[in-house]
Amino acid sequence: MSAASVGQIAWVLGVVGWYVIRYPFERRAKRVRVVSSRRSGTDVFGLACALFGLAIFPAFYVATGFPKSADYPAHAWAIAVGIVIYAAALWVFRRSHKELGRNWSITLEIRQKHELVSGGPYALIRHPMYTSFMLMGLGQAFLLSNWIVGLAGLIGFALLFFLRVDKEERMMLEIFGSQYLTYIERTKRIIPYLY
Ligand code: SAH
């Protein structure tokens, strides 16, 4: 089997893993009432970009080979690196879902009895779930040997992240006040100790 095919199969398994991790949380979240929603057109646009770049477009590529002209020869080492990064992404994704629990939302929302989570991965970074999206994008860039499809995931992640992060932190500050302020002081956004 060619390195390119191994990369594509690994990517498909990764996306399936992503959904298997997310599904139970999505179901559970439906049962917790939302007390304040900041869902906006911009946020939905960011989400759509992330979904397109990290899932829909690469799935279309795996199924059809389009856009073939942007393909480049796959290297076994790149596929191996991609597998490690994607696995790390899924691990961070799972850890952050478990930690955030009933406070999770697909968009910017405050739920009934919302608690400020600051344990597990949240002890180091404020947005580990977005870190996992970044890692998925990076993993995708190594797994799919196509310039356009490879980079689409990182671009989708960046759009979601930069359109959302300020608003999310402002919302958390409004709700949790000085508690969130001290939390900001001792954590980074998505890369431990760096950013
Ligand atoms: N940005 C976080 C969470 C993504 S889910 C991450 O990347 O891990 C988005 C929802 O999580 C937001 O609507 C907000 O209500 C909630 N949230 C974000 N940070 C939180 C925290 N530290 N504690 C509790 N809820 C949080």
Cβ–ligand 1 distance for 108 under 6 Å, the answer yes
- For ligand 1, atom 7, the nearest C-alpha belongs to 127
- Among residues 136, 129, 132, 118, the alpha carbon closest in space to that of 176 is found at 118
**pLDDT tens per residue, range 148-166:** 999 999 999 999 999 999 9
CB burial string 49-69: b at 16+ within 10 A, e below = bbebbbbebbeebbeeeeeee
- H or E segment and range at residue 96: helix 76-100
Interval between CA 104 and ligand 1 midpoint (Å): 6
Output phi, psi for 150, to 5 deg. -60, -40
d(CA 77, CA 180): 42
The atom of ligand 1 lying closest to the CA of 117 is 23
Taking Cα atoms as reference points, which of 82, 67, 53 lies closest to residue 158? 53
pLDDT the model gives residue 29: 87
Do 90 and 21 contact (CB within 8 A), yes or no? yes
Among residues of the chain, what percentage have pLDDT more than 90? 98
Cα 51 to chain center, whole Å? 9
Q: Is the pLDDT of residue 115 over 90?
A: yes
The average confidence (pLDDT) of the chain is: 97
Ligand 1 pocket member 97 (CB < 6 A): no
Kindly give the interhelix angle for 76-100 and 3-29, rounded to the nearest 10 degrees. 10
CATH class of domain segment(s) 3-186: mainly alpha
Span from the CA of 195 to the centroid of ligand 1 (angstroms):
17
Residue-range domain boundaries for the chain: 3-186
Other beta carbons within 10 angstroms of residue 45's beta carbon come to: 13
Per-residue pLDDT of 26-47, as tens digits, reads 998 889 999 999 999 999 999 9
Q: Which residues of 72-90 are buried (b: 16+ CB within 10 A; e: fewer)?
A: eebeeebbbbbbebbbbbb
Closest ligand 1 atom to 132 CA = 7
